[in-house]
Amino acid sequence: MASSSVPLGTILVDGKGRTLYLWEADTTSRSTCSGECAKEWPPMIVSGEPVAGKGVKADLPGTTKRSDGSREATHKGHPLYYFADDKKAGDVGGRKVNDSGAEWYVLDTSGNKVTGRAKSGTPQPSPAQPTSGGGH
């Protein structure tokens, strides 16, 4: 995990620069997004312990066991996900999307959800609407 500067500020990304998200329905470090939800919001599956990269505190990354036995990366206890419609590094199309019963947020490097707007004078990407229709 590393940090990346986007119009929203400095956010948490994977090693390839892809944006990572938290889901407000996850109230513990255990992921509750599976089945259809996990197709639209794929979990960040890891084989070992995630490593804190540039701009990320070493004690914040971790893992949690998913119901299928795989290990999902966490950050400050939040299970981490991708948004299927984000196609390249820096895309934040899943930001503030309400899908599968709760909202999805980009995280800052401290593990807090980013709720603000793009910095003044910077074009703000619009949140994408989920293509699967929600209700997973």
For 17-21, 30-34, 46-50, 130-134, which range has the lowest pLDDT when averaged over its residues? 130-134
Give me the residues paired with residue 61 across strands. Answer: 75
> Does the pLDDT at position 25 exceed 70?
yes
95 Cβ partners below 8 Å, 6+ apart?
8, 21, 104, 105, 106, 114, 125, 127
> Hey, is 12 helix, strand or coil?
strand
Residue 33 has pLDDT above 50, yes or no: yes
Is the confidence at residue 130, as pLDDT, over 90? no
**For residue range 95-122, what is the model confidence (pLDDT) as tens digits?**
999 999 999 999 999 999 998 765 543 3
The pLDDT of residue 121: 39
Q: Can you give the pTM of this predicted structure?
A: 0.84
**Per-residue pLDDT reduced to its tens digit, 43-84:** 999 999 998 998 999 999 999 999 999 999 999 999 999 999
